[in-house]
Amino acid sequence: MRANSGSDSLVAIYPGSFDPITNGHLDLIERASKFAGKLVVGVLRNESKQPLFSVEERVEMLKEVVAGYRNVAVTAFDGLLVEFAAEQRAGLIVRGIRAVSDYEYELQMALMNRRLRPEIETVFMMASEAHSFVSSRLVKEVIKLGGNIGGLVPPPVEARLKRRFAAAI
């Protein structure tokens, strides 16, 4: 890992459901951690999505896979993202974009967040080519149908997914 070249005082938030964390998420965490003094990965409590893993399990998995990043913290939140960002004293929200369809939704959310908290900026980061097709939903669907998810999620997450789906059989 390279040393942080960003502002040591900049706090950024990378929010998501992370159900489960993918290598695409991890790539964005690594890249975003280089330009923020502190990157807070916020795990959204949204039980209406019927998550595979509990919030506590998702936080635990994230903490395990980001343990090597000195400036990355993981915590759960609920409610408005901009209020969570304000509580964390963050000036920046980081959002990943995989395709044009992501941009349309993310732009709408960024504009609403700007209206609610104009002092908090949103930055969009493009997914790397290797991960541009990967989503948590797709990973769950592939493993549920017995497919290989190697390289799509960090190894500890792959092991948890295999255990979770083996228990369901």
Catalytic positions, please? 25, 49, 98, 136
User: How far is 65 from 58, CA to CA, in rounded Å?
Assistant: 11
Query: Which candidate, 156, 161, 159, 152, places its Cα nearest to that of 24?
Result: 152
Q: Which class for 12: exposed (0-12), middle (13-18), buried (19 or more C-beta within 10 A)?
A: buried
- Per-residue burial over 68-106, b = 16 or more CB atoms within 10 Å of its CB, e = otherwise: ebebbebebbeeebbebbbebebbbbbbbbbeeebeeeb
135, 98 Cβ separation under 8 angstroms? yes
Return the closest-CA partner of residue 4 out of 37, 41, 40.
Answer: 37
Sheet holding 7-16, edge to edge: 72-77, 36-44, 7-16, 92-97, 121-126
